Protein backbone atom coordinates (compact mmCIF):
# COMPACT_ATOMS: atom_id res chain seq x y z
CA UNK A 1 0.00 0.00 0.00
CA UNK A 2 2.85 2.36 0.84
CA UNK A 3 4.43 1.75 -2.57
CA UNK A 4 1.12 2.39 -4.30
CA UNK A 5 0.69 5.58 -2.28
CA UNK A 6 4.13 6.83 -3.30
CA UNK A 7 3.49 5.98 -6.95
CA UNK A 8 0.20 7.84 -6.80
CA UNK A 9 1.91 10.89 -5.35
CA UNK A 10 4.54 10.84 -8.09
CA UNK A 11 1.98 10.48 -10.85
CA UNK A 12 -0.04 13.37 -9.46
CA UNK A 13 3.09 15.50 -9.03
CA UNK A 14 3.63 15.40 -12.76
CA UNK A 15 0.82 17.91 -12.89
CA UNK A 16 2.67 21.09 -12.02
CA UNK A 17 -0.53 22.85 -11.10
CA UNK A 18 -1.39 20.34 -8.38
CA UNK A 19 0.45 22.11 -5.55
CA UNK A 20 -0.81 19.69 -2.89
CA UNK A 21 0.79 16.69 -4.61
CA UNK A 22 4.05 18.55 -5.04
CA UNK A 23 4.13 19.37 -1.32
CA UNK A 24 3.56 15.70 -0.49
CA UNK A 25 6.49 14.79 -2.72
CA UNK A 26 8.67 17.28 -0.82
CA UNK A 27 7.71 15.60 2.42
CA UNK A 28 8.66 12.21 0.98
CA UNK A 29 12.07 13.56 -0.07
CA UNK A 30 12.66 15.01 3.39
CA UNK A 31 11.93 11.61 4.94
CA UNK A 32 14.72 10.03 2.91
CA UNK A 33 12.53 8.08 0.47
CA UNK A 34 14.92 7.06 -2.31
CA UNK A 35 12.02 6.25 -4.63
CA UNK A 36 11.17 9.93 -4.85
CA UNK A 37 14.68 11.09 -5.81
CA UNK A 38 14.23 10.44 -9.54
CA UNK A 39 10.96 12.34 -9.59
CA UNK A 40 12.49 15.26 -7.67
CA UNK A 41 15.37 15.41 -10.15
CA UNK A 42 12.93 15.42 -13.05
CA UNK A 43 10.97 18.23 -11.42
CA UNK A 44 14.18 20.24 -11.08
CA UNK A 45 15.01 19.60 -14.73
CA UNK A 46 11.46 20.65 -15.62
CA UNK A 47 12.10 24.02 -13.96
CA UNK A 48 15.21 24.45 -16.09
CA UNK A 49 13.33 23.52 -19.29
CA UNK A 50 10.51 25.86 -18.31
CA UNK A 51 12.97 28.75 -17.94
CA UNK A 52 14.36 27.92 -21.38
CA UNK A 53 10.88 27.90 -22.92
CA UNK A 54 10.08 31.18 -21.20
CA UNK A 55 13.15 32.83 -22.73
CA UNK A 56 12.15 31.53 -26.15
CA UNK A 57 8.64 32.92 -25.69
CA UNK A 58 10.06 36.34 -24.83
CA UNK A 59 12.05 36.36 -28.04
CA UNK A 60 8.90 35.41 -29.92
CA UNK A 61 6.88 38.14 -28.18
CA UNK A 62 9.38 40.77 -29.32
CA UNK A 63 8.45 40.01 -32.94
CA UNK A 64 4.74 39.40 -32.39
CA UNK A 65 1.96 41.61 -33.70
CA UNK A 66 0.60 43.63 -30.78
CA UNK A 67 -2.84 43.78 -32.39
CA UNK A 68 -3.09 40.06 -32.93
CA UNK A 69 -5.76 38.24 -30.82
CA UNK A 70 -3.18 35.50 -30.22
CA UNK A 71 -0.96 38.03 -28.41
CA UNK A 72 -3.42 38.94 -25.65
CA UNK A 73 -2.68 38.61 -21.94
CA UNK A 74 -5.27 35.84 -21.61
CA UNK A 75 -3.64 33.78 -24.34
CA UNK A 76 -0.21 34.30 -22.76
CA UNK A 77 -1.55 33.19 -19.37
CA UNK A 78 -2.81 29.84 -20.65
CA UNK A 79 0.22 29.48 -22.91
CA UNK A 80 2.52 29.75 -19.88
CA UNK A 81 0.46 27.13 -18.05
CA UNK A 82 0.83 24.85 -21.07
CA UNK A 83 4.59 25.44 -21.19
CA UNK A 84 4.93 24.51 -17.50
CA UNK A 85 3.13 21.23 -18.04
CA UNK A 86 5.03 20.61 -21.29
CA UNK A 87 8.35 21.03 -19.48
CA UNK A 88 7.29 18.43 -16.88
CA UNK A 89 6.14 15.95 -19.52
CA UNK A 90 9.32 16.36 -21.54
CA UNK A 91 11.57 15.64 -18.59
CA UNK A 92 9.46 12.63 -17.56
CA UNK A 93 10.27 10.98 -20.90
CA UNK A 94 14.07 11.22 -20.80
CA UNK A 95 14.47 14.97 -21.02
CA UNK A 96 17.92 16.50 -21.41
CA UNK A 97 19.74 14.12 -19.09
CA UNK A 98 20.06 16.65 -16.28
CA UNK A 99 17.81 14.58 -13.98
CA UNK A 100 20.06 11.52 -14.34
CA UNK A 101 23.11 13.56 -13.33
CA UNK A 102 21.29 14.89 -10.26
CA UNK A 103 20.27 11.36 -9.22
CA UNK A 104 23.82 10.08 -9.58
CA UNK A 105 25.23 13.03 -7.65
CA UNK A 106 22.74 13.06 -4.79
CA UNK A 107 22.24 9.30 -4.67
CA UNK A 108 26.00 8.58 -4.57
CA UNK A 109 25.48 5.52 -6.77
CA UNK A 110 28.79 5.88 -8.65
CA UNK A 111 32.33 6.47 -7.42
CA UNK A 112 32.97 8.93 -10.23
CA UNK A 113 30.58 11.44 -8.66
CA UNK A 114 31.58 13.47 -5.61
CA UNK A 115 29.19 12.78 -2.67
CA UNK A 116 26.66 15.55 -2.12
CA UNK A 117 27.71 15.86 1.51
CA UNK A 118 31.21 16.81 0.42
CA UNK A 119 29.90 19.40 -1.98
CA UNK A 120 27.74 20.96 0.70
CA UNK A 121 30.50 21.15 3.31
CA UNK A 122 33.81 21.39 1.48
CA UNK A 123 32.99 22.33 -2.11
CA UNK A 124 33.42 26.07 -1.70
CA UNK A 125 33.26 26.97 -5.38
CA UNK A 126 33.58 30.70 -4.78
CA UNK A 127 36.80 30.06 -2.88
CA UNK A 128 38.13 27.83 -5.65
CA UNK A 129 37.25 30.43 -8.27
CA UNK A 130 38.83 33.26 -6.29
CA UNK A 131 42.02 31.21 -5.84
CA UNK A 132 42.13 30.58 -9.57
CA UNK A 133 41.65 34.28 -10.32
CA UNK A 134 44.44 35.16 -7.86
CA UNK A 135 46.77 32.66 -9.54
CA UNK A 136 46.05 34.14 -12.96
CA UNK A 137 46.54 37.69 -11.70
CA UNK A 138 49.85 36.76 -10.09
CA UNK A 139 51.05 35.11 -13.30
CA UNK A 140 50.08 38.15 -15.35
CA UNK A 141 51.69 40.52 -12.87
CA UNK A 142 54.91 38.49 -12.95
CA UNK A 143 54.96 38.52 -16.76
CA UNK A 144 54.29 42.25 -16.94
CA UNK A 145 56.81 43.04 -14.23
CA UNK A 146 59.43 40.91 -15.96
CA UNK A 147 58.78 42.75 -19.22
CA UNK A 148 58.91 46.08 -17.41
CA UNK A 149 62.29 45.18 -15.95
CA UNK A 150 63.61 44.44 -19.43
CA UNK A 151 62.21 47.69 -20.81
CA UNK A 152 62.90 49.76 -17.67
CA UNK A 153 59.31 50.98 -17.23
CA UNK A 154 58.67 52.75 -20.52
CA UNK A 155 56.74 56.03 -20.45
CA UNK A 156 55.38 58.57 -22.93
CA UNK A 157 57.25 61.89 -23.05
CA UNK A 158 57.69 64.79 -25.46
CA UNK A 159 60.17 64.37 -28.27
CA UNK A 160 59.58 67.72 -29.97
CA UNK A 161 59.29 71.23 -28.59
CA UNK A 162 56.46 72.32 -30.88
CA UNK A 163 54.22 71.17 -33.75
CA UNK A 164 56.36 73.28 -36.05
CA UNK A 165 59.48 71.30 -35.11
CA UNK A 166 57.50 68.06 -35.41
CA UNK A 167 56.41 68.79 -38.99
CA UNK A 168 59.73 70.34 -40.02
CA UNK A 169 61.67 67.28 -38.83
CA UNK A 170 59.28 64.56 -39.98
CA UNK A 171 58.10 65.81 -43.40
CA UNK A 172 61.41 65.29 -45.30
CA UNK A 173 61.62 61.73 -43.98
CA UNK A 174 57.97 61.07 -44.82
CA UNK A 175 58.49 62.35 -48.36
CA UNK A 176 61.30 59.85 -48.98
CA UNK A 177 59.28 56.90 -47.69
CA UNK A 178 56.15 58.07 -49.51
CA UNK A 179 58.03 58.27 -52.82
CA UNK A 180 59.31 54.75 -52.29
CA UNK A 181 55.87 53.22 -51.62
CA UNK A 182 53.57 55.57 -53.55
CA UNK A 183 52.04 57.08 -50.42
CA UNK A 184 50.93 60.58 -49.41
CA UNK A 185 53.60 62.12 -47.12
CA UNK A 186 51.06 64.48 -45.64
CA UNK A 187 48.90 61.52 -44.60
CA UNK A 188 51.92 59.91 -42.95
CA UNK A 189 52.65 63.04 -40.92
CA UNK A 190 48.96 63.40 -40.01
CA UNK A 191 48.81 59.86 -38.70
CA UNK A 192 51.98 60.38 -36.66
CA UNK A 193 50.46 63.57 -35.22
CA UNK A 194 47.35 61.69 -34.12
CA UNK A 195 49.36 58.83 -32.62
CA UNK A 196 51.71 61.08 -30.63
CA UNK A 197 49.84 64.38 -30.15
CA UNK A 198 52.20 66.25 -32.46
CA UNK A 199 55.19 64.52 -30.88
CA UNK A 200 54.29 65.30 -27.25
CA UNK A 201 53.60 61.68 -26.28
CA UNK A 202 56.31 59.52 -27.81
CA UNK A 203 57.23 56.27 -26.06
CA UNK A 204 60.49 56.54 -24.08
CA UNK A 205 62.30 53.82 -22.18
CA UNK A 206 63.11 54.12 -18.50
CA UNK A 207 66.57 55.57 -19.21
CA UNK A 208 64.98 58.46 -21.15
CA UNK A 209 65.81 57.07 -24.58
CA UNK A 210 63.18 57.68 -27.25
CA UNK A 211 61.68 54.71 -29.07
CA UNK A 212 61.05 56.94 -32.12
CA UNK A 213 57.81 55.00 -32.56
CA UNK A 214 55.48 57.62 -34.05
CA UNK A 215 52.86 55.23 -35.42
CA UNK A 216 51.95 53.01 -32.48
CA UNK A 217 53.28 49.86 -34.15
CA UNK A 218 53.28 47.02 -31.65
CA UNK A 219 56.05 44.47 -31.23
CA UNK A 220 54.50 41.31 -32.66
CA UNK A 221 56.16 37.93 -33.03
CA UNK A 222 57.84 39.07 -36.26
CA UNK A 223 59.70 41.85 -34.45
CA UNK A 224 63.12 40.90 -33.10
CA UNK A 225 64.33 44.37 -32.11
CA UNK A 226 64.00 46.34 -28.88
CA UNK A 227 60.64 46.76 -27.20
CA UNK A 228 58.94 49.21 -24.86
CA UNK A 229 55.93 48.21 -22.72
CA UNK A 230 53.55 51.01 -21.77
CA UNK A 231 49.92 51.55 -20.79
CA UNK A 232 47.69 52.11 -23.81
CA UNK A 233 44.01 52.76 -24.44
CA UNK A 234 42.24 50.15 -26.55
CA UNK A 235 38.59 50.08 -27.64
CA UNK A 236 36.59 46.86 -27.21
CA UNK A 237 33.10 47.08 -28.75
CA UNK A 238 33.32 50.86 -28.49
CA UNK A 239 34.38 50.82 -24.81
CA UNK A 240 37.81 52.23 -23.93
CA UNK A 241 39.96 49.89 -21.83
CA UNK A 242 43.42 50.42 -20.38
CA UNK A 243 45.94 47.71 -21.28
CA UNK A 244 49.69 47.10 -21.26
CA UNK A 245 51.19 46.59 -24.71
CA UNK A 246 54.69 46.11 -26.12
CA UNK A 247 55.72 48.51 -28.89
CA UNK A 248 58.64 48.53 -31.31
CA UNK A 249 61.63 50.70 -30.44
CA UNK A 250 63.86 52.23 -33.15
CA UNK A 251 67.24 53.89 -33.14
CA UNK A 252 66.14 56.86 -35.27
CA UNK A 253 63.15 58.56 -36.88
CA UNK A 254 64.33 57.43 -40.31
CA UNK A 255 64.23 53.80 -39.18
CA UNK A 256 60.79 54.31 -37.63
CA UNK A 257 59.17 55.85 -40.73
CA UNK A 258 60.87 53.33 -43.01
CA UNK A 259 59.55 50.46 -40.89
CA UNK A 260 56.07 51.99 -41.03
CA UNK A 261 56.12 52.00 -44.81
CA UNK A 262 57.45 48.45 -44.92
CA UNK A 263 54.92 47.30 -42.28
CA UNK A 264 51.93 48.65 -44.23
CA UNK A 265 53.06 47.45 -47.64
CA UNK A 266 54.19 43.98 -46.61
CA UNK A 267 51.07 42.97 -44.67
CA UNK A 268 48.20 41.36 -46.61
CA UNK A 269 45.92 42.83 -43.97
CA UNK A 270 46.47 46.33 -45.38
CA UNK A 271 46.41 45.44 -49.08
CA UNK A 272 43.27 47.51 -49.64
CA UNK A 273 44.92 50.52 -47.98
CA UNK A 274 48.05 50.10 -50.12
CA UNK A 275 45.92 50.18 -53.29
CA UNK A 276 44.54 53.57 -52.20
CA UNK A 277 47.74 54.94 -50.64
CA UNK A 278 47.75 58.06 -52.82
CA UNK A 279 44.27 59.11 -51.62
CA UNK A 280 44.51 60.13 -47.96
CA UNK A 281 40.79 59.83 -47.20
CA UNK A 282 40.40 56.38 -48.73
CA UNK A 283 43.74 55.25 -47.34
CA UNK A 284 42.98 56.17 -43.70
CA UNK A 285 39.51 54.66 -43.93
CA UNK A 286 40.97 51.41 -45.27
CA UNK A 287 43.51 51.39 -42.43
CA UNK A 288 40.72 51.64 -39.86
CA UNK A 289 38.61 48.98 -41.57
CA UNK A 290 41.63 46.65 -41.56
CA UNK A 291 41.99 47.12 -37.81
CA UNK A 292 45.10 49.28 -37.61
CA UNK A 293 43.60 50.92 -34.52
CA UNK A 294 40.63 50.06 -32.31
CA UNK A 295 39.45 53.67 -32.05
CA UNK A 296 36.18 53.86 -34.05
CA UNK A 297 36.99 57.49 -35.02
CA UNK A 298 40.61 56.83 -35.98
CA UNK A 299 40.28 57.72 -39.70
CA UNK A 300 38.26 60.86 -38.96
CA UNK A 301 40.91 62.07 -36.51
CA UNK A 302 43.69 61.62 -39.06
CA UNK A 303 41.72 63.48 -41.74
CA UNK A 304 40.92 66.26 -39.27
CA UNK A 305 44.67 66.84 -38.86
CA UNK A 306 45.24 66.37 -42.59
CA UNK A 307 42.80 69.18 -43.40
CA UNK A 308 43.64 71.34 -40.40
CA UNK A 309 44.88 74.88 -40.73
CA UNK A 310 47.70 74.09 -38.30
CA UNK A 311 49.24 71.45 -40.54
CA UNK A 312 48.69 73.27 -43.81
CA UNK A 313 50.24 76.51 -42.55
CA UNK A 314 53.35 74.58 -41.50
CA UNK A 315 53.86 73.02 -44.92
CA UNK A 316 56.03 74.83 -47.49
Q: Which residues are catalytic?
A: 234, 259
Q: What are phi and psi of 241, to 5 degrees?
A: -135, 140
Cα separation of the two ends of the chain:
105
What is the distance between the alpha carbons of residues 274 and 308, in angstroms, rounded to a whole number? 24
Q: How far apart are CA 184 and CA 284, in angstroms?
A: 11
Give, in degrees to the nearest 5, the angle at Cα 16 between 15 and 22: 90
The C-alpha angle 59, 64, 65, rounded to 5 degrees, equals 165
Length of the chain equals: 316
C-alpha to C-alpha distance for 258 and 214, rounded to whole angstroms? 11
Indicate the DSSP class of residue 242: E
The candidate with the shortest Cα–Cα distance to 11, out of 34, 42, 48, 51, is: 42
Task: Write the Ramachandran bin of 274: left for phi over 0, alpha for psi from -120 to 50, otherwise beta.
Answer: alpha
Q: What is the DSSP string of 277-299?
A: TT-HHHHHHHHHHTTS-S-TTHH
Amino acid sequence: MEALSTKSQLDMARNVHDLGSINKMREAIASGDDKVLQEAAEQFEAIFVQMMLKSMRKAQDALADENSPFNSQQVKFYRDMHDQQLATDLTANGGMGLADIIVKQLGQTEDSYTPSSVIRSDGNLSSLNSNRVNDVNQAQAFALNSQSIRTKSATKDAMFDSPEQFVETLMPIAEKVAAQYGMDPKAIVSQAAVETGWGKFVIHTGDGKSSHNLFGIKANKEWSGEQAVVDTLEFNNGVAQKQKSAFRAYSSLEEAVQDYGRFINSSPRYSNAVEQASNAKHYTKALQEAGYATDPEYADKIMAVYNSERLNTLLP
